[in-house]
Amino acid sequence: MNHLNDKVPDKIGRITELAYNLWWSWTPEARGLFRRLDYPLWRKTLHNPVQMLQEISPLKLQEAAQDSTFLRQYNKVMMLFDDTMKNHDSWFYQTYPELADKTIAYFSFEFGLHSSLPIYSGGLGILSGDHAKEASDLGLPFVGVGFMYPQGYFRQRIPSHGWQEAVYQQLDISQAPVLPVLNGDGHEMRISVNLGGRRVSARIWHVQVGRNPLFLLDTDVDENEPWDRELSARLYSGDSETRIRQEIMLGIGGVRALRALGINPTAWHMNEGHSAFLTLECIRELVAEGKNFEEAVAIVKKQSIFTTHTPVPAGHDAFGFQMVEQYFNGFWDELGINREHFLSLGGHEEEWGMAFNMTVLALRLSGQANGVSKLHGEISREMWQEVWPDKPVDEVPISSITNGVHVPTWIAGEVHNIFDKYIGPGWLEQHDNPAIWQRLAEAPDDEMWDVHLALKRKLMSYLRERVRRRWVNGTNDPTQVLTSGTLLDPEALTIGFARRFATYKRATLIFRDLERLQRIMMDIHRPVQFIFAGKAHPADEPGKSLIQHIYNLAKHNQLGGRIAFVEDYDMHMARYLTQGVDVWLNNPRRPREASGTSGMKAAINGIPNFSILDGWWVEGYNGANGWAIGDEREFENHEVQDEYDANFIYQVLEEEIVPLYYSRDRDGIPRGWVEIMRECIGSNAPMFGTRRMIKEYTTELYIKALRASEANSN
Ligand SMILES: *Cc1c(COP(=O)(O)O)cnc(C)c1O
């Protein structure tokens, strides 16, 4: 921060503090302040205040410090900021004052907080980011632990042949909202772990997420060997050995980082099995204090919470016993157990033989576990029943808490304003209360529709300007100018599909009967168009071939530019898409979608879902707030399922969605459609926000762990 402090005039000096607290990113008043400071630069830096303050001319800052309107706004924002940081009226503090001095540690491999900190790949990361933000809003005593990946996930480029290329860019960390943690003597703090016989060190980056810190480990430090320096360079790019090394660093190194910082959590939440080694480190500490293994396990179980995130077996990391031995040889002695006992903690029969499964480890050593939707809870109980061989499936202790999205992050400013006006300015504080949403009936149809159309135009101009910028910079060939959304028609019914290109998500299902789809799309009176976006994992060849398939259709002149594939999907683009299309499409192979969250982002903005009854939509769909694909039926044969689901999609499009969208009254307003938009918001907004979710995590899981620790220390 120091390098900025010299430049910023005292009168607005705390604006750097604001830039380094991601609170600004979900607070409209704070965003407005940065926008006002230098709007072109705000846009150029893709809303990155840290970079902006570095690049802004000192003159602009001087002017701002003299401008009474700016100063008034600045003071207002800083007052709001200080009030928020005090925390005394937060939900947690008011509800559980006796637990306010405890700490919940939340470990995750990825955090999707803002596009200026690209340390996420998809849904899991976005969920962690939203979880951390809401934990701040509700005042939970919370600290996050993750990785700083200086090369992030990857940037997606799609050349004219349509085969995705992965570009790794070194993040300029000085332009990210992170600062190194320093020791008392002013040097960077270090922690280290033993990785296969070598000490590997990590520095710790601090990200402030509202009221709470998030700490990110980074092994790119001078004293490490080159191989070790690379360890945290990228997210999910390595082989299985890189992965176990990363997971040891996150789990064991993460515990050590918190200890080094003087933070002693009373509840430990593992978001996914990636961080499950943390339980072993906690056991090791207790054994070193004189407990025996069983006593230590009992304590660790009480304080540990585990959330599993996918019903896809390959999504659960498992390591060969030999590799585990190589990295944990000797560690089991410190736990007071032998090799066989150690390996049995994660023992699980994989398709390729017995292995050490991180989900099994996490389940064995956490007292509380959950899936991320009701259906996913059910599937998880079946999937992991073997961990409790003496319990019938329905008594397997894996509960469920359905995911949510952080409403202030994902709501469009324009929609926010409508809610302020018709529900009342306090709506955000109470948005998990279903009763307040009845007031949305008072928002006039034309106003709701106008706001939606404005957001749709905003999306199209965002896509157009994005292509223009790339074209000017010479990174695009002319084909891409055609395929990236420049030919989209702002009047046409627009369907959005954006997510990771994992094959179970069936991105190309809609193209199964191309002729039928073409008839739907090319109707001159009632045209329909599609916007696709998403990355395939760099090693996922089938996923990449789905992208190529869509890309080739986007180039096809017979489809008239009504299909766009927009490269390099990220949070920034996700906001435009989930706020600006007309319908959000999701057609995974049931029951593979544990929850899904992009549809929730769309729903809170009044964009109805058209989705398979999988994940959250089984709970969200009520017959009047969007459309279902299929009827919860699952076929053994994938071909049959695909055929059935595709036909279902065409039929609902032809008979319901398209006619309703184009049925306008004399003022040009589709009254029936607006009714669905209103129902979509009213029924989903209270249920699928992280506000409801974090309250459930707190009352159902965290509290138990926090109170158990009290019993221990007494
Ligand atoms: C919300 C979001 C996701 C998650 O989408 P799903 O519908 O859960 O697949 C993935 N990537 C980005 C960039 C997002 O914003």
Atom of ligand 1 nearest to the CA of 595: 8
C-beta of 602 in contact with ligand 1 (< 6 A)? no
570 C-beta closer than 6 A to ligand 1: yes
Q: Is 594 near ligand 1, meaning CB less than 6 Å away?
A: no
Instruction: Please state, in angstroms and rounded to a whole number, the distance separating the CA atoms of residues 601 and 688.
Output: 9
Contact 126 CB / ligand 1 (< 6 Å): yes
Q: Measured in whole angstroms, how far is the alpha carbon of residue 126 from the centre of its chain? A: 1
* Cα diameter, the chain: 80
Does residue 123 line the site of ligand 1, with CB under 6 A?
Answer: yes
- Positive or negative torsion for Cα 105, 259, 248, 230: positive
Residues for the chain: how many in total?
714
Phi-psi region of 216 (alpha: psi -120 to 50; beta: other; left: phi over 0): beta
Residue at 686: amino acid letter: P
Provide the β-strand partners of residue 493: 528
CA separation for the pair 532, 566 (Å, rounded): 6
Over residues 559-565, mean pLDDT: 94
Q: Whose CA is nearest to atom 8 of ligand 1?
A: 596
Question: Which of 501, 549, 506 lies closest to 638 in space, CA to CA?
Answer: 506
Q: What's the rounded Cα separation, in Å, for the pair 483 and 100? A: 53
What separation in Å is there between the alpha carbon of 402 and the centre of ligand 1? 15
**Interval 581-601 mean pLDDT:** 97
Out of 20-34, 224-238, 392-406, least confident range: 224-238
What separation in angstroms does the CA of 17 have from each of 26, 30, 37, 180? 15, 12, 15, 15
DSSP-derived letter for residue 558 is G
**How many angstroms is it from 338 CA to the middle of ligand 1?**
42
Structure-token pair, residue 227: 């191989």
SS3 of 506-523: the string is CCCHHHCCHHHHHHHHHC
In angstroms, the CA 29 to CA 79 distance is 11
Q: pLDDT digit string (tens) for 514-558?
A: 999 999 999 999 999 999 999 999 999 999 999 999 999 999 999
The share of the chain scoring above pLDDT 70, in percent, equals 99
Q: SS3 of 209, please?
A: strand
CB-based burial, 660-670: b 16+ in 10 Å, e otherwise: bbbeeeeeebb
Name the average pLDDT for the chain: 96
List C-alpha distances in Å: 424 to 27, 48, 139, 406, 449: 17, 30, 23, 19, 19
Out of 115, 499, 577, 612, mutate this one to test ligand 1's pocket (max ligand atoms within 8 Å of CB): namely: 499
Tell me if 571 CB under 6 Å of ligand 1.
yes
Specify the residue with its C-alpha closest to ligand 1, atom 5. Answer: 598
Ligand 1 center to residue 458 CA distance, Å? 20
How is 433-471 classified by DSSP, letter by letter? -GGGGGGGGGS-HHHHHHHHHHHHHHHHHHHHHHHHHHH
Residue 713 confidence (pLDDT) above 70:
no
For residue 652, name the pLDDT band (cuts at 50, 70, 90).
very high
Distance 566 CA to ligand 1 centre (A): 15
Instruction: Count Cβ neighbours within 10 Å for each residue of 69-96 and write b for 16 or more, e otherwise.
Output: ebeebbeebbeebeebeebeebbbbeeb
pLDDT value of residue 714: 42
Angle made by CA atoms 367, 372, 376, in degrees to the nearest 5: 100
Q: Is pLDDT of 116 > 80?
A: yes
Q: What residue ranges define each of the domains in the chain, with the CATH number in brackets? A: 2-86 (no CATH), 91-403+695-713 (3.40.50.2000), 481-688 (3.40.50.2000)
Asked if residue 118 has its Cβ within 6 Å of ligand 1, the reply is: no
Q: Whose CA is nearest to atom 7 of ligand 1?
A: 598
Regarding the beta carbon of 61 and ligand 1, being less than 6 Å apart is answered no
Strand, coil or helix: 711: helix
